[in-house]
Chain A
Amino acid sequence: AQTVTQSQPEMSVQEAETVTLSCTYDTSENNYYLFWYKQPPSRQMILVIRQEAYKQQNATENRFSVNFQKAAKSFSLKISDSQLGDTAMYFCAFMKQRTQGGSEKLVFGKGTKLTVNP
């Protein structure tokens, strides 16, 4: 079974600075997706960034980028120029690629609570 580990329960950063959230995962699969979701106090689950395991290039979405190390099974999220609105829970998640007749589900880490201070 796949597991996702986020070793930082809480982090804080000053506005405009850069912060990196860690995530490691364990799987024997070769084809899968990795995600970072953001959950602000409104509780909506918002997709921040998505990485396909077969792609060597790290995904980037504006101020958000990942460092995907497939051999090390590591998938960290870097937030540049942090903004107050980035304050939220951040969840790392894994999903194996569906095969014929199979199923796919997101497996989540326990989350990292990020606070951006003014």
Chain B
Amino acid sequence: DTAVSQTPKYLVTQMGNDKSIKCEQNLGHDTMYWYKQDSKKFLKIMFSYNNKELIINETVPNRFSPKSPDKAHLNLHINSLELGDSAVYFCASTLMYTGELFFGEGSRLTVL
């Protein structure tokens, strides 16, 4: 009964490939996020969706495309992977106006 679950947890792939990370939450939240944690552990927001609508889109290469089929799911697709995309990607969710985010366990992406 994991609250925010991400798959896969680990992903190793070659430069130039396309990959996706999936996220699902069973908390009934209406807002979901993707955060990137780089090799220095710095966490930065990438995207946020509220009820399937994109509400935050930080300066992220357009090779990254989020998709939210419904408010319980937020997927991240990355095209033409580069070495610099290696990072841990965290999904998170919240219920609007509660001010509390719940994080998934993270997906470690390694690009060779």
Q: Are B96 and A106 in contact (CB under 8 A)?
A: no
Closest residue of B by beta carbon distance from A43: B106
Q: Please, how many angstroms separate the alpha-carbon atoms of A104 and B101 in the complex? A: 10
Q: Which residues of A contact B101 (CB under 8 A)?
A: 47, 95, 106
Residues of chain B contacted by A43 (CB below 8 angstroms)? 88, 105-106, 108
Report the Cα distance A47→B94, complex, angstroms.
13
Q: What is the number of contacts between chain A and chain B, taking CB atoms within 8 Å?
A: 57
Task: Compute how far the CA of A111 lies from the CA of B37 in the bound complex, rounded to whole angstroms.
Answer: 11
Interface size class of B (residues with CB under 8 A): 20 to 34
Query: What is the distance, in angstroms, from A115's C-beta to the closest C-beta of chain B?
Result: 15
| Cα of A110 to Cα of B94 in the assembled complex, Å | 22
Q: Which residues in window 2-45 of A have CB below 8 A to B?
A: 33, 39, 42-45
The 5 nearest A-B residue pairs measured at CB: A45-B103, A33-B99, A108-B43, A103-B55, A105-B45
Residues in chain A within 8 A of chain B (CB atoms) = 33, 39, 42-45, 47, 50, 52, 89, 91, 95, 97-98, 103-108, 110-111
Q: Which B residues fall within an 8 A CB radius of A?
A: 31, 33, 35, 40-45, 48, 50, 55-56, 88, 90, 92, 94, 96-97, 99-103, 105-106, 108
